[in-house]
Amino acid sequence: MVHNPKAKLKTLYVMRILQDETDAEHGLSLREIIERLDDYGIQAERKGLYSDIQALREFGVDIQTFQRNPVQYAIVRRDFDLSELMLLVDAVESCKFLTKRQSRALTTNLKLLASDHERALLDRRIHVPGRISSKSDSVFGCIDVLHEAMRKHQKVEFMYYKYNVDGNRYATHDGKPYLVTPVGVTFDDGYYYLTAWNDDHEAMTEFRIDRMDKLKVSDERATRNEQITHHTYEGDEHESFGRFVGDPMTATLLVDADKIEIIMDRFGDAAEIFAKNKDMGKAVVKIHKSPQFFGWMAGMDGAVKIDGPKSLKKEYSDYLFKLAKESS
């Protein structure tokens, strides 16, 4: 008789089979488990399987018994349930800073946390049409380098790129590398940003991490000053539009009744909503005044209007006048 070295690992193979093929809805009978083991070339009997299942339970594996005909066994509790995995997959597929290759790899790894039946549901779920993906594979590596530099209190050096009107990538800063003190990494609107102290400007500067190249930890020690020590990320996310933060202020907006949900989606519970009449609501919100906020307003096509303060109404009017003049 030829000895099968896998036989010593029979208990572990039982766990793998249950992990792959069972969940809260699907179980396997002892006969089915024996058949699966036979596919691995492992001979098993019912009595031995009882001992394997009990050993796994004592080890902490949550194997449930389904009183069906025949009796079935299943691993029900997992690190993530199906709804949580769907949420994670959707988040990965929607991330703009991930390349398509990175997105596929992460999704594949997430699917390994599910049973075979749940993986089939995830496969049908995964479809994000028109997703904008990054062209750079380096984001995760850059974040690791930045955290290393902050831990060591060193500056970082990198090239930074943007796109010109022809759609071609070009190096900023006259083609010279930046040398800055990393202060923090933030995530906003699908992208990671580095907040850094720039000695040349004596001010904080932001860089989009997926536009960096040749990033490395410098031998030069990080700058230390009061601005860096006491730097905070002011304002809630809903107050600013993208990474363009202007003067903070409270604005009163008049909103068509059928557009109230847009205000709630944009500003959340921080928005104070009052009924002006049956066709219009009044929203009091905190914003950061900026061209991006005015652009958002213009995109509402008159369904959202500025009621106050008067200075904000005047600036928005000037913004629209400038747009009309430039387009004529």
CATH number assigned to the domain comprising residue 43: 1.10.10
The stretch 299-309 carries a mean pLDDT of 88
Tell me, yes or no, whether 278 and 308 share the same domain: yes
What pLDDT sits at residue 328? 64
pLDDT in tens, 191-250: 788 889 999 888 888 898 888 999 999 999 999 998 888 877 654 554 445 555 567 788
Q: Which residues are bridge partners to 306 per DSSP? A: 253
Residue 198 lies in a domain: yes
Give me the CATH number covering residue 144.
2.30.30
What pLDDT sits at residue 75? 87
The stretch 264-278 carries a mean pLDDT of 82
More confident residue, 45 or 2: 45
| Segment 294-297 long-range contacts (CB within 8 Å, at least 24 positions apart) | 294/319, 294/320, 295/241, 296/241, 296/266
What pLDDT sits at residue 175? 92
The stretch 324-328 carries a mean pLDDT of 74
Answer whether residue 30 shows pLDDT above 60.
yes
More confident residue, 221 or 48: 221
- Let me know: does 10 contact 52? Beta carbons within 8 Å: yes
Q: 114: Cβ–Cβ under 8 A, 6 or more apart, which residues? A: 23, 78, 80, 82, 85, 122
Q: How far is it, in rounded angstroms, from Cα 156 to Cα 178?
A: 8
For 200-234, letters b (16+ CB in 10 Å) and e give eeeebeebbbbbbeebebbeeebbeeeebeeeeee
Q: 92: Cβ–Cβ under 8 A, 6 or more apart, which residues? A: 98, 103, 106, 107, 110
Give me the CATH number covering residue 249.
3.30.70
Residue 113 lies in a domain: yes
What pLDDT sits at residue 6? 67
Residue 131 lies in a domain: no
Domain boundary among 229, 253, 281: 229
Q: How far is it, in rounded angstroms, from Cα 311 to Cα 277?
A: 25
Q: Which residue has the tokens 């796994």?
A: 56
Tell me, yes or no, whether 34 and 113 share the same domain: no
Q: Which residues are bridge partners to 113 per DSSP? A: none
Tell me, yes or no, whether 179 and 143 share the same domain: yes
The stretch 57-70 carries a mean pLDDT of 89
Dihedral (CA of 9, 10, 13, 18) sign: negative
Answer whether residue 79 shows pLDDT above 90.
no
Share of the chain above pLDDT 70, in %: 87
Q: How far is it, in rounded angstroms, from Cα 285 to Cα 238?
A: 9
pLDDT band at 107 (very low <50, low <70, confident <90, very high): confident
Answer whether residue 10 shows pLDDT above 60.
yes
Query: In the numeric block, which tokens belong to residue 36?
Result: 């699966």
Least confident window among 191-195, 254-258, 281-285: 191-195
Answer whether residue 144 shows pLDDT above 80.
yes
Answer whether residue 316 shows pLDDT above 70.
yes
Q: How far is it, in rounded angstroms, from Cα 290 to Cα 46?
A: 71
What pLDDT sits at residue 35? 93
Least confident window among 46-60, 121-135, 256-270, 289-303: 121-135
Name the 3-class secondary structure at 20. helix
pLDDT in tens, 82-92: 777 777 777 77
Residue 320 lies in a domain: yes
Among residues 123, 130, 96, 84, the alpha carbon closest in space to that of 107 is found at: 123
Answer whether residue 1 shows pLDDT above 50.
no
Residue 88 lies in a domain: yes
Residue 146 lies in a domain: yes
Q: How many residues does the chain have?
A: 328
The stretch 271-282 carries a mean pLDDT of 87
- Let me know: does 115 contact 19? Beta carbons within 8 Å: yes
Answer whether residue 260 shows pLDDT above 80.
yes
For the chain, what is the domain count? 4
Tell me, yes or no, whether 250 and 316 share the same domain: yes
- Domain extent, residue 263, equals 239-327
More confident residue, 261 or 35: 35
Tell me, yes or no, whether 69 and 86 share the same domain: no
What pLDDT sits at residue 239? 46
Among residues 309, 303, 307, 301, the alpha carbon closest in space to that of 320 is found at: 301
Tell me, yes or no, whether 116 and 175 share the same domain: no
Q: Which residue has the tokens 């604005």?
A: 251
pLDDT band at 119 (very low <50, low <70, confident <90, very high): confident
Domain boundary among 92, 125, 158: 125
Residue 282 lies in a domain: yes
pLDDT band at 156 (very low <50, low <70, confident <90, very high): very high
Tell me, yes or no, whether 156 and 216 share the same domain: yes
Q: 152: Cβ–Cβ under 8 A, 6 or more apart, which residues? A: 217
Residue 132 lies in a domain: no
Domain boundary among 198, 229, 260: 229
Q: How far is it, in rounded angstroms, from Cα 208 to Cα 194?
A: 6
Average pLDDT value over all residues in the chain? 82
What's CA 96's distance to the chain center, in Å? 9
What pLDDT sits at residue 102? 79
